[in-house]
Amino acid sequence: MFTDIEGFTVFAASRDERATMGLLRRHDVAVLPAIRRHGGRILKRLGDGLMATFPSPADAIAAALAMQHAATRRGGLRLRIGVHAGAARWREGDLVGHDVNLASRIADRAPGGQILVSEAVRAAAQGIRARFRRTRPLVVRGRDPTAVFRVER
């Protein structure tokens, strides 16, 4: 999973450091409890977002839904969240691989306030009370197109 705050760069450029840090704290208040509650682990912080792993795709989706709910309720944050499941490997303390890159690209495509997931996540998300709406496929050069779905309550 990757998260990102929509509009953060523009916000940070037009506000002082105190306001910027306050926005990052609101992100953490919305995101961190959901990660913990659903068995996730933060792998790294990425400026105005983060990268996390979960025990299962269902846990990742449940966490993402909780994050979006908390972000909206606690300060009007618009999070962009992307989730993919696949193979990865550790390299010098970092998780790398095509599937990690794909998760990041899915998050990059998400509009603020939305969760996008790959077909691999949708297919494995057993027991989640959510609807999956197909969006346009993600095309990565040298790879087959990846089906992408918007998650809705």
pLDDT tens per residue, range 22-57: 999 999 999 999 999 999 999 999 989 999 999 999
- Beta strands 79-83 and 114-118: pairing type? parallel
Count CB atoms within 10 A of the CB of residue 51.
Answer: 19
Q: Tell which residue, 123, 116, 128, 111, has the closest CA to residue 86.
A: 123
Burial class (CB in 10 A: 0-12, 13-18, 19+), 82: buried
- For the chain, domains (ranges, CATH) are 2-152 (3.30.70.1230)
- What is the 8-class DSSP label of residue 55? S
pLDDT tens per residue, range 64-88: 999 999 999 877 799 999 999 998 8
